[in-house]
Amino acid sequence: MMGTDSDHFQTVPLSESQSSFSGQPYSVSVLKAGYCVPQSDGTFRADGTITLITGPKTILVDTGGPWDRDFLLKSLKDKGLEPGDVNVVVGTHGHSDHVGNLTLFPSAVMIVGYDVSEGDTYRPNKLGDGHAFIIDEHVSVVPCPGHTGQDVSVRVKGTSAGTVLVAGDLFECCSDEDSWRDLSMNTAAQEVSRLEALRTADVIIPGHGLPFRVLRN
C-alpha cells in the first residue's frame, strides 16, 4: 500500500521473470533492476535500473553507472542491438548511477532531465512548464520533479500490462515509503508526482528495484 493514498492504490511487486512487457507497437524490458543496499560503514551501494523500450524507435531509459558499461553493451548485443541502433536515450535525472554511459550513444537524441538534445543542438521543449515531451503517440517523457528538480519518467502505452511508467527515482522500489523522502529534494513536489503516476500507470518500473503493478481500488 502507498502511504496516505493506501485507500486508493495497492502496489504488487513483480518478480524478475515478470520484468518484460510485450506490446504493440512497443515492448518494455528491464535490462537490469537497480538496487540500493546500506553498508555497515555508513555508505551504501547503489545502481540505477536500466530499461529498454523497443518498437518503431529504440529507446534506452537510464544507462546505469560507468561500471555498467560492459554489462550494458552485452545486454544490447543479446537483444541484437549495437549502441548506434538506439534512437533515444533518456536520463531520468542527472545522478551518476543513472547517466554513467551516455557517451556510448553519441548519435541518439538525448533527453536528460529537462534537456533535449541531438549532438550539440538543444531543442526547445516545455518539460519545465509541466508538459510532456512527445516521442510519438505511444511514448512520452513526462516531468515528475521531487527527487531532483528536473526528474522525468517515460510513459509507454499499449503494452500487455497496460501503461508502463519507467519512473527513475520517483519511486525507489515498490515499498519505499521509508526511503524516498530521505532522498528527495522536494518531498511535496514528489508526493504530487507520485500520486499522478499511481493514477495513470498500470505498471511502474522504479529506479532501485523490480517493477510493480498498481491496482486502483
Residue spans of the domains in the chain: they are 3-216
Percent of the chain at pLDDT exceeding 70: 97
| pLDDT tens digits for range 63-116 | 999 999 999 999 999 999 999 999 999 999 999 999 999 999 999 999 999 999
Mean pLDDT of the region 19-47 = 97
Confidence bin at 2 (pLDDT 50/70/90): very low
- Assigned architecture for domain 3-216: 4-Layer Sandwich (3.60)
Buried b (16+ CB within 10 A) or exposed e, 125-151: bebeeeebbebeebbbbbbbbbbbebb
Average of per-residue pLDDT across 1-24: 82
- The pLDDT of residue 12 is above 80: yes
d(CA 194, CA 173): 12
Cell 519511486 belongs to which residue?
171
What are the grid coordinates assigned to 38, written together? 546500506
**Do residues 174 and 210 lie in contact, with contact meaning Cβ atoms separated by under 8 Å?**
yes
Residue 62 has pLDDT above 70, yes or no: yes
- Round the average pLDDT of the chain to a whole number and report it: 96
Binning pLDDT at 50, 70 and 90, where does residue 3 land? very low
Q: What is the mean pLDDT of the segment spanning 138-154?
A: 98
**Residue 91: its H or E element:** strand 88-91
Query: Which residues have CB under 8 Å from 204's CB, separation 6+?
Result: 11, 164, 165, 167, 171, 197, 198, 211, 212, 214
Query: What pLDDT score was predicted for residue 1?
Result: 39
Matching residue, cell 524516498: 180
pLDDT higher than 70, residue 7: no
- Please say if the pLDDT value at position 119 is more than 80: yes
The answer for residues whose C-beta is within 8 angstroms of residue 45's C-beta and 6 or more apart is: 35, 36, 37, 39
- Cell of residue 31, nine digits: 535490462
pLDDT at position 210 over 80:
yes
d(CA 32, CA 68): 10
pTM score above 0.85: yes
**Residue 189, burial from CB neighbour count under 10 angstroms (0-12, 13-18, 19+):** middle
66 grid coordinates: 560507468
Instruction: Give me the helices (H) in 42-171, please.
Output: 69-78
Q: What is the pLDDT of residues 159-196, one digit of tens each?
A: 999 999 999 999 999 999 889 999 999 999 999 999 99
